[in-house]
Amino acid sequence: MGKVLNAEDAEDSQKTQKEIRKISLEVLLRFLRIFCVFCVPIASGCSMAPVYQRPEAPVPAAFPYPAAAGGVAAAELDWQKFFADARLRALVATALKNNRDLRVAVLNIEQARAQYDIRRADQFPTVGASIAGSRTPNTSGTYTAGIAFTSWEIDLFGRVASLGEVALAQYLATEEGRKAAQATLVATVANTWLNLAADEELLALTQQALATREESLRLTRLRFENGASSEIDFRQAQSLTESARAVLTQLQRQRAADLNALGLLLGEAVGADYRVGITTDSVRLPDLPAGTPSEVLAKRPDVRQAEQQLVAANANIGAARAAFFPRISLTAGVGTASNDLSGLFKGGSWGWTVAPSLVQPIFDAGRNRAGLASAQAGRDIAVAQYERAIQSAFREVADALAGRATLGEQVRAQAAVVEAEAVRTRLAQLRYDNGVSSYLDLLDAQRSLFTAQQALVQARLARLQNQVQLYRALGGGWS
């Protein structure tokens, strides 16, 4: 007959089971510590990627045009300080909040960061808990519980680590891409706003010229109808008036297009009654020191983006090289099994398993060689793209410096032309009123003055936009 347990024996049995479970848990925790301390560093392996070396910059050591002395570097000057006009700063802030292109750039960063987190997680084992039970007719049940380490690659040759470096560099590249997109957006909003200022100024000039010419046409018609002037004078006045009206409609269409462009940049509609309310002559932007090409290239986000892409391509070679070597993976588990659910955690039911595997490529029809060749070609492409980014950056800065060196003198000279044409028009009017010269001389002077005034506005606009371009080219606008 079986022995009947009294209450004291039952209590001792429960205490024994609790002690067994406690000891088993301590053993499991010690196993996890040993696993993480010894196996994870081994799994980090060695890198087979080439040692990264930054290519030599294929540009001269100095810019071809002189730069301003002193001042704050563009990359260290926030756009809020570069643009003094509060209305322009408000537009830029709205664009940074709503612009869809910039929003895509930010989302690309989040996606790249998630990809990097995935690659980083590949360097660690995946641990999962499982409880299972089964029972078939006329047989006893089987119950298991435990913790399993799913197939985990021991990265002895650095394949997983290289892929992690690729993901990290791509993440950093997207961050630099976001900065470059912001700098471009800030500059584009400013230039569009300046275009609108020039549009308003040109519209005012054209409307004034049209009013003057319409009055001149009215007087010429009266003179012609009364035989005081010839029909040729009347037709010339009519032609000049209609030309001004054609220019006016063209400028109105251009202003509408600039408003639409601004609305796209801001991410919201801009009303047709929007007014900038300033002239191109009243806008002031700070002058900037250029520094050396090496300083500029180190601060431009698009150049740093190209370099991070080169770093990623370089690390990808390491992953391609590691594919030629054995791939070792490990599956392990710690758990308990019993034919009875109540005995699942009793002493003697605990156990562990370790199942390593090794796969050595023998024949893959040239797949690994092709993968390595592709990675090396990708690195060469990234080098060329990096060098191209440097050359483009150098050209943009050089072009902007050339503009700064010449546009100021162009504005001064064009202002002198306007002044001379204004005097000429006034004198031609006096000569015509006194019958000394023909009406053709007066019309020619008026036409030349109007053209000179338009050219002055365009020259001032070009100078301002060149300053904005120099700010962006020198690495400003992203902070």
| Residue 134, phi-psi category: left (phi > 0), alpha (psi -120 to 50), beta (remainder) | beta
pLDDT at 219: 87
Average pLDDT over residues 146-151: 68
- Name residue 337's beta-bridge partners: 144
Q: What angle do CA 251, 254, 256 make, to 5 degrees?
A: 110
pLDDT reading at 201 higher than 60: yes
Q: What is the pLDDT of residues 4-18, one digit of tens each?
A: 445 555 555 555 555
Tokens of 48: 């087979």
Instruction: Please indicate, yes or no, if residue 40 is contained in any of the structural domains.
Output: yes
CA distance 254 to 259: 9
Q: Whole domain around residue 182: which residue ranges?
A: 20-473
Instruction: Please indicate, yes or no, if residue 1 is contained in any of the structural domains.
Output: no
Instruction: Please indicate, yes or no, if residue 12 is contained in any of the structural domains.
Output: no
20 falls in which pLDDT band (50, 70, 90)? very low
pLDDT at 41: 47
pLDDT at 427: 94
pLDDT reading at 90 higher than 90: yes
Task: Report which residue type is found at 125.
Answer: P
- Kindly report the CATH number assigned to the domain that includes residue 65: 1.20.1600.10
pLDDT at 3: 45
pLDDT at 358: 67
Average pLDDT over residues 320-340: 72
Instruction: Please indicate, yes or no, if residue 458 is contained in any of the structural domains.
Output: yes
pLDDT at 103: 87
Nearest CA-CA partner of 74 in 422, 404, 460 = 404
pLDDT at 28: 46
pLDDT at 369: 87
70 falls in which pLDDT band (50, 70, 90)? confident
Q: For the chain, what is the mean pLDDT?
A: 83
pLDDT at 67: 67
Q: What is the pLDDT of residues 25-53, one digit of tens each?
A: 454 455 445 444 444 444 445 677 888 88
**Strand arrangement, sheet containing 127-134:** 127-134, 142-154, 327-338, 350-359
Pairing of strands 127-134, 142-154: antiparallel
pLDDT at 18: 56
- Residue scoring higher pLDDT (70 or 463): 463
Instruction: Please indicate, yes or no, if residue 388 is contained in any of the structural domains.
Output: yes
pLDDT at 349: 58
Nearest CA-CA partner of 449 in 414, 418, 415 = 418
Instruction: Please indicate, yes or no, if residue 322 is contained in any of the structural domains.
Output: yes
Task: Report which residue type is found at 273.
Answer: D
CA distance 307 to 316: 14
CA distance 53 to 231: 79
121 falls in which pLDDT band (50, 70, 90)? confident
Q: What is the pLDDT of residues 243-295, one digit of tens each?
A: 999 999 999 999 999 999 999 999 999 988 999 989 999 999 998 888 888 88
**Residue reference for tokens 């976001």:** 178
Q: What is the pLDDT of residues 441-465, one digit of tens each?
A: 888 899 999 999 999 999 999 999 9
Instruction: Please indicate, yes or no, if residue 115 is contained in any of the structural domains.
Output: yes
What's CA 319's distance to the chain center, in Å? 28
CA distance 62 to 394: 10
Highest mean pLDDT among 31-45, 364-378, 419-433: 419-433
pLDDT at 37: 47
Cα separation values, 304 from 73, 76, 94, 393, Å: 18, 16, 27, 11
- Residue scoring higher pLDDT (208 or 479): 208
Number of domains in the chain: 1
57 falls in which pLDDT band (50, 70, 90)? confident
Instruction: Please indicate, yes or no, if residue 287 is contained in any of the structural domains.
Output: yes
Instruction: Output DSSP code: residue 114.
Output: H
73 falls in which pLDDT band (50, 70, 90)? confident
pLDDT at 4: 45
pLDDT at 33: 52
